[in-house]
Amino acid sequence: MPLGRRVAASDDLEVSAYLEIAQGIEAEAPGSSRQVNEGIAVIDFGSQYSHLIARRVRELKVYSEIANPSDTWEKALVHQLGGTVTRGTKQEFGHATLHQDSPSAGWGLPGGRPPLFHELPPSFQVWMSHGDRVEMLPAGFSSLAFTENSPVAAIGNGRDMFGLQFHPEVNHTPLGTEILENFLFRICGCEGSWTPGNVASDAIARIREQVGDGSVICALSGGVDSAVTAALLHRAIGDQLTCIFVNNGLLRLEEAERVQATFRRGMGLNLSYVDASERFVTRLAGVTDPETKRKVIGEEFIRVFEEAATGLGEVEFLAQGTLYPDVIESEAPANAPAGSALSARIKTHHNVGGLPENMKLQLVEPLRYLFKDEVRDVGLELGLPPDMVYRQPFPGPGLAIRVIGEVTLEKLEMLRACDWIVIDEIKGADLYDRVWQSFAVLSDSRTVGVQGDYRTYGYVCAIRCVTSEDAMTADWVRLPYEVLARISSRIVNEVPGVNRVVYDITSKPPGTIEWE
C-alpha cells in the first residue's frame, strides 16, 4: 500500500504551508479503485486569502482543503480521504517558538497555540510560512530558505524550513505560479492528479458506497449545483434516484420546459415535475416585505416538496448540492477573527431550508468539498450542456425578489419578458459569460411617458449587471451604451406596461446584487 501523502499549507496574512509525508497513514477512498493520497491543508488564521490559496493549489491539480487551527489533524485532512484513516502512534511534537507578532501565535485560543500545532504528526515535514517569524526551531529542524520579510519559515522532518514571499493572487506575484508549482511538486512531491475526471469517478464510487440499493430524492432547481448533484447521482445509481422539480411560478421564461428537456428527455433521469405556480402566487398575495416573501416561498416549497416526495414510496436519502464555501462557513468557529474567510458569513445558507428534519432522510452531498468553478468542470465532464453549467446564478426565491412590492401574475409576466430581453442582448453582445449576473428588476414605481399620441403611465424597469468573484463583493458593469440602448428600446417597445428603463450603477457594498 503506498504511503498516504499529506501536505499542509498554513495561511496567515500571506501563505504558510506544511508538508507531511504521512508515514504509517493509510488512506483509501472506500469503494474506489483509485487511492486519493495527497492533499494540501490551508490553515486559516483569519486571512481573507485562505480560499484563494486553496483554489490556486487546486488549479494546479492538487487537492487542498481549508483547515481550522482548532481542528485535529484527523479532522483537518480526512474529508477527501473517504473517512478511513488509521494512523501510527502519535508523538508529541516540539513546537517552534513563534514571534509574538506572528499571525499564528496566540489566536485567542486557550493555551495560546491552536490544537493543530500540539498534535503535529511525527512525520511532519515542511512548513512554509510567510507571515510567521519563527524565533526558535523545534529540535531536529533547520531553516531551509527565507526571504527578507520572513526571517524563518518552514519546518521539516528532514527537517527543513522554507520561507516565501507570496501573494496568493498569483498574477500579482512575479513568478507566482512557478513558486507555487515548485512548492507543490518539487518540495512537497505532489503528483497533481486531482482532475475533474478523477473527482467525478471518486464521487460516483462514494455515492454507490453510501447509498447501496437505497432510494434517493433530489430537489432539482435547474441551477448548477443541483444539476451536477443530480447528474453524479444518476451516473452512480441510475433509477434509484428521483428528482423533484418545482415550478413555483417564479421561474424565468421557458425555464420549466428547459429543465425538463435537459434532464428527462436528454439524460433519461426520473424527474417528477410539480407545477405549483398558482399556489405560490396565491400565497404571495399582499406580501411586500422582502424577508416575508423569502419565508413564505421557503415554507411553501417545503410543503410542496414533501407532498411530492410522499408519493414516491420508501425513500432513505436526500441529495443536496451543498458546496465547500457553505461547509467552511458553517464550520467557522465563533471566535474566528472578523474579516477572515471563516467569519465571512453574510447570511446563513440553508439548502432547502431544513427539509430533512422531519423527513428523517440521510444526506448525500457529493459536492461538499468543491468550489463552484470545480463543480462546473465536473458538470462538463459529465456531459451537462454548457448553457446549464455556465448559467448565471439565479436566486432561490426566483423572480419574487425582483418584483419590488407585491408579486402579481401580471408583474411576473412583465418581468419575465424584460429579463428575457436583457439576457438575449447580453448574450448577443457576447457578455453573458464575462459578467457575474445580468438581469431585470421590476420596480413598483410608475412614471408618465408618451407612446405614439398617447400618454402612458407604466412601470420602471431597472437593469442590473455586475461582475464579481464570489458574490461577496460586486461592481456594476460599464456596459457599452449601444447595448444599454438596445435593451431599453426593446423593453419599452416589446413589454406592455413598462415605459421607462434605468441602469443600476451601485456596487456591493454598499448595495447588494439583488434588490430584495
Ligand X SMILES: Nc1ncnc2c1ncn2[C@@H]1O[C@H](COP(=O)(O)OP(=O)(O)OP(=O)(O)O)[C@@H](O)[C@H]1O
Phi-psi region of 489 (alpha: psi -120 to 50; beta: other; left: phi over 0): alpha
- In eight-state DSSP terms, residue 346 is S
* Residue 422: CB minimum distance to ligand X, A: 20
Contact flag: residue 248 with ligand X (CB under 6 A): yes
Q: How many CB atoms lie within 10 A of CB 395?
A: 18
Contact flag: residue 225 with ligand X (CB under 6 A): yes
- The 3-class SS string of 299-344 reads HHHHHHHHHHHHCCCCCCEEECCCCHHHHHHHCCCCCCCCCCCCCC
According to CB under 6 A, which one of 127, 245, 324, 420 is a site residue for ligand X?
Answer: 245
Is 22 marked as binding a ligand?
no
Is 223 marked as binding a ligand?
yes
Contacting range for ligand X; rule: CB under 6 A; set: 39-47, 200-208, 239-247, 442-450: 239-247
Locus of grid cell 465563533: 334
Q: What are the backbone angles phi and psi of residue 365, rounded to the nearest 5°? A: -130, 80
Neighbour-count burial of 48, counting CB atoms closer than 10 A to its CB (0-12 exposed, 13-18 middle, 19+ buried)? middle
Contact flag: residue 219 with ligand X (CB under 6 A): yes
According to CB under 6 A, which one of 121, 168, 196, 223 is a site residue for ligand X?
Answer: 223
The SS3 of residue 417 is helix
According to CB under 6 A, which one of 22, 52, 224, 370 is a site residue for ligand X?
Answer: 224
Is 227 marked as binding a ligand?
yes
Contacts (CB under 6 A) with ligand X, residues 320-379: 321, 351-352
Q: How far apart are CA 495 and CA 493, in angstroms?
A: 6
Q: Which is nearer to ligand X, 471 or 484 (CB)?
A: 471
Side chain identity at 118, as an amino acid letter?
A: H
Binding residues with ligand X: total (CB under 6 A):
15
User: Which residue of this chain has its Cβ atom nearest to ligand X in the complex?
Assistant: 223
According to CB under 6 A, which one of 25, 220, 465, 487 is a site residue for ligand X?
Answer: 220
Contacts (CB under 6 A) with ligand X, residues 164-203: none
* Residue 305: CB minimum distance to ligand X, A: 7
Query: Pairing state of beta strands 4-11 and 16-22?
Result: antiparallel
Q: Which is nearer to ligand X, 104 or 226 (CB)?
A: 226
Element (H, E) at 160: strand 160-163
Contact between residue 449 and residue 456 where contact means Cβ atoms under 8 Å apart = yes
* Residue 474: CB minimum distance to ligand X, A: 16
Contacting range for ligand X; rule: CB under 6 A; set: 146-154, 219-227, 356-364, 472-480: 219-227
Annotated binding site for ATP: 221-227
Annotated binding site: 221-227
> Which residues bind to ligand X, rule: CB under 6 A?
219-221, 223-226, 244-246, 248, 321, 351-352, 396
